[in-house]
Amino acid sequence: MFGEAKFCKGIAGSILIIIITIQRCKELGNSGKEASSDYIRPGPGKVLSTVHYGSDSDPQQVHISLAGKDHVRVSWITNDTTAVSIVDYGKKSGKLSGKYKASATGAHETYDYFFYKSGEIHHVKIGPLDPSTTYYYRCGGSGEEFSFKTPPSTFPIEFAVAGDLGQTEWTASTLKHVGNKDYDVFLLPGDLSYANAQQPLWDSFGRLVQPYASQRPWMVTQGNHEIESFSSIEEEPFKAYNKRWVMPFLESGSTSNLYYSFDVAGVHIVMLGSYAPFQADSDQYKWVQADFAKVDRKVTPWLVVLLHAPWYNTNTAHQGEGEKMRKAMEALLYQARVDIVFAGHVHAYERFTRVFNNTANHCGPMYVTIGDGGNREGLALDFKNPPSPLSSFREASFGHGRLSVFNKTHAHWSWHRNNDSSATVADGLWIETFSGSNACKEHSSSSKDEL
């Protein structure tokens, strides 16, 4: 906790320390079991402060995300209020000519948080784009050229997955391992910057991930560290997150940036919000119900869900925190024949067998906790014993996962532990989707019988 103090300066800093103290107490309160005396985490990781070397008008914190069919959203921040929200792009580099084939205009806005005022946050949607193609782009009409590759339109496709990233040396190590082997889309099940109300840390995080997030789409959902609301001081939750990390919720018929879905190469991915209302009468519940109903497994044979607080978890950390949501929504996911559910929150790796309602069930999703991205809180070292027969693999080490979808029936999942220069494959298995098997026919009127 006191390690955080050095980031605070002046009066604002002192007040922020108080706020952060409140936040930390809240967190421990939420996870009382975690705070028990036998729960020992390694020392906090050193937080990296990533600085911007360019001028105020130079784009920084550049990242891209998928934004509806054949479109990508380019997001960046400038510290100059006159900067324009224009992206020039094309299949040929414009480094020498300064010319790009296409151009698109978006919008920018700022937000205030306590004494902090953000830079101009720009979002520009570009497209239509061709699949599996490298595009070169420039933000704001001048400055550095970036490039990204669009995902393929058909199998195979590879996802890199890591939650609870933060911005420590461990984070840098995870990102390096992610970057060492190509992938198409990055999936993040919540807890991004660990800014914990210190807004400049959101900027620092944006700069740290830019080399990765400017090259491949980063698709994220919210964690508890994104909430950042405090009664009567900063009442609006997810202020920084929603402004900086705009996801394709409008494109997927959702009314909230906290839950949305997208299709990519035969995979339908649904991002749920652990910290948005999820009961049967909630907007999120109704939205996901309608979203699942629209899924055509002939077009997207794979169905994957991400959320933050795990529904299945044998770590002593954060026990039961996902339970209310599980009770509210598990049947929906089961009936929709979701293949895999990725969660974060617990700073460790754990893989479960296919489960429904706490019982092994070959028609239920495989649950994976992958909250091991490397944040400053350290690892969740303490697993409950004896191990649950539902838990197939568990280890408290930093790392990332790879979901490599080969075709409409087969995918390979692997977990890569960070190990200095190389990422060590520590867990891996083949998965077959339901759409290829008769044993678990897609949700139909008869599937009610199986409940």
Ligand X SMILES: *[C@@H]1O[C@H](CO)[C@@H](O)[C@H](O)[C@H]1NC(C)=O
Q: Name residues contacting ligand X, limited to 86-145 (CB under 6 A).
A: 119
Q: Which of 319, 361, 409, 414 binds ligand X (CB under 6 A)?
A: 409
Angle between helices 200-213 and 169-180 (to 10 degrees): 20
The interface with ligand X within residues 206-245 (CB under 6 A) comprises: none
399-405/391-395 β-pairing: unpaired
Q: Which of 96, 293, 439, 451 binds ligand X (CB under 6 A)?
A: 451
Per-residue x/- track, 136-175, Fe ion (CB under 5 A) = ----------------------------------------
Give me the count of residues in the chain: 451
| Residue 226 site contact among Fe ion, ligand X, none (CB < 5 to 8 Å, cut-off depends on kind) | none
Q: Rounded CA gap, 134 and 376, in Å?
A: 34
Give CA–CA dist 360/23, Å, rounded.
37
Residue 7: how many other CB atoms lie within 10 Å: 18
CB closer to Fe ion out of 39 and 419: 39
Q: Is residue 345 at the binding interface for Fe ion, with CB under 5 A as the rule?
A: yes
Contact between 191 and Fe ion by CB under 5 A: the answer reads yes
DSSP line for 53-77: -S-TTS-EEEEEEE-STT-EEEEEE
Which of ligand X, Fe ion, none interacts with 357 (beta carbon under 5 to 8 A by kind)?
ligand X
Query: ω into residue 128 within 30 of 0, thus cis?
Result: yes
- State the virtual CA torsion across 413, 416, 417, 421 in degrees, nearest 10: 170
Report, in Å, the least distance between residue 54 CB and ligand X: 9
Smallest separation (angstroms) from ligand X to the CB of 120: 9
Judged by CB under 5 A, how many residues of this single chain contact Fe ion? 4
Alpha helix positions (H), 143-276:
169-180, 200-213, 239-244
Torsion of CA 289, 154, 350, 425, to 10 degrees: 180
Q: Is 419 in the site for ligand X (CB under 6 A)?
A: yes
Which one of Fe ion, ligand X, none is in contact with 13 (Cβ closer than 5 to 8 A by kind)?
none
3-state secondary structure of 26: helix
CB 358, min distance to Fe ion, A: 22
* Size, binding site for ligand X by CB under 6 A: 18
Stretch that binds ligand X, among 135-143, 336-344, 375-383, 417-425 (CB under 6 A): 417-425
How far apart (Å, rounded) are the C-alpha atoms in residues 213 and 217? 6
Residue 224, contacted partner among ligand X, Fe ion, none, CB below 5-8 A by kind: Fe ion
| Start-end of H helices in 214-319 | 239-244, 283-294
407 binds ligand X (CB under 6 A): yes
Binding residues for Fe ion restricted to 211-230, rule: CB under 5 A: 223-224
Supply the Cα-derived Rg of the chain in whole angstroms.
21
Per-residue contact string for residues 296-335; x = within reach of ligand X by CB under 6 A: -----------------------------------x----
Residues in contact with Fe ion by CB under 5 A are: 191, 223-224, 345
Residues in contact with ligand X by CB under 6 A are: 52, 77, 79, 119, 200, 203, 331, 357, 406-407, 409-410, 419-422, 424, 451
